[in-house]
Every structure is written in C-alpha cells, then in structure tokens.
Amino acid sequence: MKVSVIVPCYNAQAYLAQCLNSLRKQTMTDFEALLVDDGSDDQTPGILADAAAEDARLTVLRQANAGVSAARNRALRQARGEWVFFLDADDLLPKDALQNLLAAAAEGVDLVVGTHALLFEGGRQTVLPEGRWPKLAGEERRRAAALRLIEGDSVLNIMCNKLHRRSLLQREGIELAEDLRVAEDNLFNLEAVLCGSGIAYVPSVTYLYRMHEASAMHRQRGTQFDIHLPWLRRMDEMLRRRGVMEAYYGAYVDSVVLRLYKDGGVPGVWRGWKTEALPLAEQPELDETRMSAADRRLHRLVSGGLYPAAYPLIAAVQIARRKAGRLRGG
C-alpha cells in the first residue's frame, strides 16, 4: 500500500463529508484512510460510519476525546502504508494531490512537501514557500528546511500536505507531543527533517486549507513568548536528544529571541532577556568545538552577558536575512 491518510475528527460535521469526498475521488487509489473520531458529540460519528460503509479503504477508529495529537498518534501506530499523509477534517484535496506528491517520492527522499492554498469563502490564495530552501538540493536543502522549522514562522510548520516515509517515523520513534497545544506539528516535522534524508518539493497545489473562525490559529491567547514557551522547551530537549544542539544553537537562540521581539520589538528583548530568554539560551555545557564560528561567538556573547548590548546589531542582521529569505545560511 502506498499511502496511509490520517484524518483526526472532532465535531467536524460542517465540512467532514466534503473532506472525505475529496479524498475518495483521488486519482491515486492505492491508499488507506484512518479516520479517528476523537470523542465527537455531533453528527461526525454517523458521517464517518456512512463513508466507511461505502468505501472499504476507509477505517473508523474511535477514542474518548484526547486531542488532535493523540488522534494522529493512534492512527500512526496502526498505519500500514509506505508513506503517511495527514489531512484535517475541514480541508480539501485537489483530485490529483496524492498522485502529484507520490511522483516526487523518489529513492533517497524521506519527506515530500507540497504547495497549499488558503481556501476563503470568496476564493483561494496560493501559499508559496518562503525563503530559499526549495531552491537548494541535498543536504543544503535539508539544513535550510530545519532552520526554517527552528525559527517557527514557516509554511513547513503545518502537519498536512506532506508525505512522511513511515519507515523513518517508525525507526526513529517519531510521534506528536500530546502535551503541546501550539507548534506540535512543527516539532514533529523538525524531528523528521533532522532524522531523514532527502526532501522533495512539489510546486503545484496539493492541499486546500480552509480558513474559518473555528481554525486553531484563531484560538491563541497570550504573549508570543508564553504561547511558544512549551514548544521552545520541547525543541531544546529534542535537539539535545538528537545530538544536534551545537549544530543549531544559533538558530535556536534566534527563535527564542524572536518570540520576545514579536511581543515588544527591541525594547521587548531587552526587558525579557534576563528572566525569559537567558534560561533557555545560556547552555554553558555545550561543546563549542562542535559549533560554527558564528555560533561560538554568539554563545560567548550570551554566556558573557553581552547579548542585550549587541542585540540592535544582531536584530538588523536578522531582519536583513529574513528579507532575503535566508536564515544562517538557509
């Protein structure tokens, strides 16, 4: 079997039938769909049962409400396909989505990333990848993608519209962090990129992401730093566990500081540096011999207490890099 499509469903009655219809009409027919009812109390269970009765490729899994990550993990453990594809219950697929993604799934590729479009009531808007990572190849592309994910503001973040090689996920024990409520998809994708090999990019639209008031992006409350702190801590733990914190130290510090910058600009970084950013950024136990020259300098600025004074210059360089689509060589 080529693809296991995982669809978490919670009170999804408004759009679920349309979503499943777009899946069942795929031109690439060699797939299984694992539909996880995460304790819905609307018409979702009936819609799922009807669809599964009409199409043997669809399997319904049921669980008490435990959240979208738990639902995805439940299906991931049961998946049998060579590739795993995540689809949200309120989104849609162009009819040739799986076919176009699979066409890029060559030997040596562990992740295929498609282009998606935002689906508004008045039409759709194609979202092109930011930065230079799709224009690079091989290890340069993989590192550039990891840098985008560590920064956190990237179309690479989203769980959907990607083919993950299932054997890689199994071998490395990669699952979603069920205790995270923000950026759990980012953390999953980042770990897969760090552990995997090649990344393929498909420039055609292979996913329609529906925009509406119930979307998760409309439910975030609090400062950017507070919202993302659990993710930053889990990313720190994962980078250490994978033995690559030294290789990505500068990018990690930039990501920590970016949350403060989004909350209050340069003054916000100065105000929050000592109490909020420094405990994450200091990391005196790191081996500087495994760092790039630039990251060694940054590590010494942080440990020597000079980072806040140097930040205006650092911020100017970061802004210039982002405008050029570059992140620390990415």
Q: Give per-residue pLDDT as tens, 184-202.
A: 999 999 999 999 999 999 9
What are the backbone dihedrals phi and psi of residue 210, each rounded to the nearest 5 degrees, phi first?
-75, 130
Over 90: is that where the pLDDT of 155 sits?
no
Coil, strand or helix at 294 = helix
- Residues 44 and 11 sit within 8 Å (Cβ to Cβ): yes
Provide the residue ranges of all domains of the chain, joining segments of one domain with +.
3-218, 224-323
Higher pLDDT, 296 or 327: 296
Name the class of domain 3-218.
Answer: alpha beta
Higher pLDDT, 111 or 316: 111
Detail the DSSP E strand segments found in 145-278: 162-165, 198-210
Contacts of residue 56, defined as CB under 8 A and 6 or more positions apart, other chains included, come to none
Distance, CA of 157 to CA of 186 (rounded, Å) = 4
Mean pLDDT confidence for 209-229? 78
User: What is the pLDDT at residue 282?
Assistant: 96
Over 60: is that where the pLDDT of 218 sits?
no
Distance, CA of 101 to CA of 112 (rounded, Å) = 7
Distance, CA of 300 to CA of 314 (rounded, Å) = 14
- Each residue of 6-23: pLDDT tens digit? 999 999 999 999 999 999
User: What is the pLDDT at residue 131?
Assistant: 75
